[in-house]
Amino acid sequence: MQTAVLAPNNAPPAAAQYTEAPGLPANTPFNVINRASQLQPVRKGPINTLPKEIILHIFKLGASCGDSQKRIDFAVLVSQVCGTWRDVAFSCSSLWADITITTDNMYNVDGGHAIVNTSLLRAKEFASRSRVFPLSVRLKLLVPPNFVYLQIGTIIIMNWLRLVFPRIKYLSIHCDTLHIARLVTNRLQTVPMENLETYKMKFGTEVLSFCHSIILPPDVRFLFLAGQNEEQTHTADNLDLLPKLTRVSLSGFPVSWSRWSLTRLTSLSINFMTLHDRPSMDVLKYILALNGETLEKLEIQGAIQRFGRIPCNADELPTNLPRLMDLTLGYLSQWEAIIFFLHFEAPALKHLKLCDVSRSILTRHFKDGFDSNSLVIQNIPALQPFNKFSSTILLEHLVYVCSLLEQVETLALEHFSLPPLVSDLFWQDDDPLKHLHEAPVFLAYRMLQKCSRLRRLALIDPEQCFLDALNMYPDDPKTSSPAPVLTHLCLASSDCDRLKLFLERRAESLAKEKGPRILDYLELATAKKDVHVLEDIVSQHVDMSRIAKSSLAAEWHGSGVLCPSKCT
């Protein structure tokens, strides 16, 4: 088979690009012949002549986008380009494997015999076009402005979903009413999903989880994909119904923790539980021990009990998680994190993220100012105006007591605050640098010293002491060891002047022969309105090639997620 070579846009079309009509029969009327002679040959556009392999490659690139809604929109868009693309799109099952169903704009059909909306109709069409390809399904069952059809609509959605359960590889459900949450989980009980690998369930919002909540009795809490009914408690049932399930994420869901039966998980997230719905430390140890031989990634934020139990005696050994490599720990009080580290050990840990939840998520919610009369603030001491945020004791524990930092290669600290309220552990430190710097700066530098394998560091909303510590270098390495050599550094701050000062001091430190080394990659992020200031600094005032081999200025929205702006 010959492949036509595409001509440039300004080149004359090749002969193969014309479509010629077949010859006319001899008895054709003269007026028809006359009109036919005046017709111009039809030229196929370059987009119509692309080989099928190229079109499929374009589809794969579009389907690799991280945003599920953009993948859905992309599938619809490319199927409407032209007839050729439409045929190829319909033959590509993977293009239609993403399904999102919402409860927006529900309406009845035929006097209430059916409840549908555009997303459900589209989901059915996508499921048909994807044939037998594994599906990624997202359900957003939130209360719409007109909630008349919410319950019956959810029932219809779940009834249809049962038809494709065997094909679902990824399932994400988000709801904001307990009634709908119970309806959904009841429909999922004892349903075999032999291809399900990832399951995410979210209830409400992060901030909602910190409000006063109604204490639910045990029989109302959800058996989260436990593969069992009220009489069954055997783990074997779960293994039969969900043989491939390895990744589970829970956020805000009131779970029956004592009846947990999921095992063989490689990734587990437990986030933003109300005060009454958080697992006790003993139950958490039981759940993690069930998955200890396989668990590689753990995320637990706003879900550790406020007054967790400290190990009572030396005979109580920490629970070992031998395969855990990635840990994200978000706390309201630094003691939650300390107690967690006392109960668990992870000898293979390489990636650690610590987040002061009260300063990050909740302060974004109250960005217009705290209300001291708010039930949220009254319920959480860390949010009360007279209680200063602090992670000083936690950092002292990691530096002077725990050996965890010595094995970490990637570290992220989000909204860490270090007020100068140090303990006896700090004062017993005999490093000579302690007398040359303020306590928070020295403690931050000691943290860097402890991370002997650290290569990648991310500081989200860092205090000045951390930025100063990054540019420190001991005058005599024999008496005070230098911090490890970083290859990647990410700094995000709403204070653009603070980042500017860091760059200036970094350049000064690098000018010294014994100062820090040049980074492989540096990312700086600040508020959208100040991104241009960063770009101006790195383009005119600071020689970035002397600080990092590659750098990026990005937009920061106040969370750990950065939006790239411009390479420098």
**Closest among 533, 561, 504, 543 to 553, alpha carbons compared:** 533
How many whole angstroms separate alpha carbon 333 and alpha carbon 459?
A: 19
Locate tokens 């004062």: which residue?
A: 427
How many whole angstroms separate alpha carbon 108 and alpha carbon 111?
A: 7
Locate tokens 């002061």: which residue?
A: 356
DSSP bridge partners of 490: 458, 523
Q: Please name the residue ranges forming H helices in 110-234.
A: 118-129, 150-161, 178-188
Strands 168-175 and 135-141: parallel
Q: What is the pLDDT along the chain (568 residues), one digit of tens a residue?
A: 444 444 444 444 444 444 444 555 556 555 555 555 555 555 666 777 788 899 999 988 888 888 888 899 999 999 998 888 999 999 999 999 999 999 887 776 665 556 678 889 999 999 999 999 999 999 999 988 767 778 888 988 999 999 999 999 999 999 988 889 888 988 887 788 999 999 999 998 776 666 655 555 554 455 554 434 444 444 445 567 889 999 999 998 888 888 898 999 999 999 988 878 889 999 999 999 999 999 999 999 989 887 666 766 666 789 999 999 999 999 988 999 999 999 999 999 999 999 998 777 666 655 545 555 666 555 555 455 445 568 999 999 999 999 999 999 999 999 888 887 778 888 888 888 888 888 899 999 999 999 999 999 999 999 999 999 998 887 777 777 888 889 999 999 988 889 988 988 888 887 776 667 889 999 999 888 888 888 877 776 677 888 888 888 888 876 654 444 433 4
CB 106 within 8 A of CB 149: yes
Cα of 427 vs its chain's centroid, Å? 39
CB 281 within 8 A of CB 305: yes
CB 459 within 8 A of CB 413: yes
| Phi/psi of residue 567, nearest 5 degrees | -80, 145
How many whole angstroms separate alpha carbon 553 and alpha carbon 535?
A: 6
CB 445 within 8 A of CB 464: no
How many whole angstroms separate alpha carbon 477 and alpha carbon 515?
A: 11
| Phi/psi of residue 514, nearest 5 degrees | -100, 10
One-letter amino acid for residue 565 of the chain: S
- Our CA angle for 403, 407, 409, nearest 5°, is 140
Handedness of CA 68, 70, 73, 75 (dihedral sign): negative
One-letter amino acid for residue 523 of the chain: E
Q: Please name the residue ranges forming H helices in 313-463.
A: 334-343, 357-365, 375-379, 392-396, 424-427, 439-450
Determine the pLDDT at residue 170. Answer: 97
For residue 25, what are the contacts with CB-CB under 8 A and spacing of at least 6? none
Q: Phi-psi region for residue 225, left (φ > 0), alpha (ψ -120 to 50) or beta? A: left
Handedness of CA 35, 36, 41, 45 (dihedral sign): positive
How many whole angstroms separate alpha carbon 347 and alpha carbon 324?
A: 8
How many whole angstroms separate alpha carbon 50 and alpha carbon 53?
A: 8
Determine the pLDDT at residue 186. Answer: 86
CB-side exposure of 180: number of CA atoms within 13 Å? 27
Quick check: helix, strand or coil at residue 370?
coil
Domain ranges of the chain: 487-568
Determine the pLDDT at residue 114. Answer: 60
**Closest among 541, 567, 563 to 554, alpha carbons compared:** 563
One-letter amino acid for residue 467 of the chain: L
Query: Kind and range of the H or E element at 173?
Result: strand 168-175
**Structural tokens at position 533:** 């200031």
Beta-carbon neighbour count of residue 457 at 10 Å? Answer: 23
Q: Phi-psi region for residue 247, left (φ > 0), alpha (ψ -120 to 50) or beta? A: beta
Question: How do the residues of the chain divide into helix, strand and coil, expressed in percent and rounded to 5?
Answer: 40, 20, 45
CB 52 within 8 A of CB 88: yes
How many whole angstroms separate alpha carbon 340 and alpha carbon 355?
A: 14
Beta-carbon neighbour count of residue 458 at 10 Å? Answer: 20
CB 225 within 8 A of CB 242: yes
How many whole angstroms separate alpha carbon 398 and alpha carbon 341?
A: 9
Q: Phi-psi region for residue 286, left (φ > 0), alpha (ψ -120 to 50) or beta? A: alpha
Determine the pLDDT at residue 367. Answer: 55
Handedness of CA 13, 15, 17, 20 (dihedral sign): positive
Q: DSSP letter at 232? A: -
- Our CA angle for 130, 136, 138, nearest 5°, is 125
Handedness of CA 156, 157, 158, 164 (dihedral sign): positive
Query: Kind and range of the H or E element at 507?
Result: helix 496-511
Determine the pLDDT at residue 228. Answer: 42
DSSP bridge partners of 247: 198, 267
Locate tokens 């319950």: which residue?
A: 151
What's the Cα-to-Cα distance from 540 to each of 372, 469, 566, rounded to whole Å? Answer: 45, 25, 15
